[in-house]
Amino acid sequence: MIRSSSSLPPVEVSQSSSEAIQPPLEVFQVISAAPLDMVELLRRAHHPAAGAVVLFSGEVRDHNKGRAVDHLEYEAYQPLAVKMIHAILAEATAKWSLQSAIAQHRVGRLAIGESAVVVITAAAHRREAYEANRHIIDRIKHEVPIWKCEYFHDGSHQWGNNCNC
């Protein structure tokens, strides 16, 4: 996960009077083998200049195209995936003047109901927060080298092609 502003490497969005309540700059993981901690991610997204915070969680469904899904596995080409997610967050931060932009994607085995990806956007108003959030998740799904393999109840498995969720 990162908190990103309009330039790379990610830096804290500048503040004035509110600086004291902001967490210090950290370099967050954008790819995680551990379960995603949505509460902690959301806590980090709050910003005094943001009147709207949107959180999207992509979660593991128990079915796909009529087939019962047992679990999923995700893999990533991490050197490139990390770089691309940072760039997507930075671009969205600049375009929609976001106060916070956070994304974290799981890798490894995921059970039904687990969160595979979280995107959080915080902006002054909801329109920007919603639009930026959708833009970020769409680009992560379509562009970033992360792949899903579905394991079905019948014992078969199938790698995902383009996004179908």
Partner 1 sequence: MKIHVYATLKDYFSSEFELATVAHNTDELKRHLVQLNDQAELLLNSCRFAVEEGFIDNDYKLKENDTVIIIPPASGG
Per rule CB under 8 A, count of chain residues that contact partner 1: 29
Closest C-alpha to 149, from 103, 119, 108:
108
Residue 152 pairs in a beta bridge with 69
DSSP 8-state secondary structure symbol assigned to residue 124: S
Q: For residues 1 and 116, which CB has a smaller minimum distance to partner 1 in the complex? A: 116
**Residue 10, interface with partner 1 (CB under 8 A)?**
no
**Residue 76, interface with partner 1 (CB under 8 A)?**
yes
Q: Which of 15, 94, 112, 160 binds partner 1 (CB under 8 A)?
A: 160
The SS3 call for residue 151 is strand
CA distance 165 to 163: 6
**Shortest Å, Cβ 154 to partner 1:** 18
Mark 32-71 with x for binding to partner 1 (rule: CB under 8 A) and - for no binding. Answer: --------------------------x-------------
CA distance 28 to 70: 30
**Shortest Å, Cβ 11 to partner 1:** 20
Q: For residues 100 and 115, which CB has a smaller minimum distance to partner 1 in the complex? A: 115
CA distance 61 to 71: 9
Can you state the percent helix, strand and coil of the chain, rounding each to 5?
A: 30, 30, 40
Q: Count Cβ atoms within 10 A of the Cβ of residue 24 and give its class: 0-12 exposed, 13-18 middle, 19 or more buried.
A: exposed
Q: Which of 20, 65, 66, 79 binds partner 1 (CB under 8 A)?
A: 79
**Residue 90, interface with partner 1 (CB under 8 A)?**
no
**Residue 111, interface with partner 1 (CB under 8 A)?**
no
Q: Which of 67, 83, 126, 127 binds partner 1 (CB under 8 A)?
A: 83
Q: Cβ distance 99 to 90 under 8 Å?
A: no
**Residue 21, interface with partner 1 (CB under 8 A)?**
no
Name the residues that contact partner 1, by CB under 8 A. 58, 74-77, 79-80, 83, 105, 116-117, 137, 140-149, 159-165
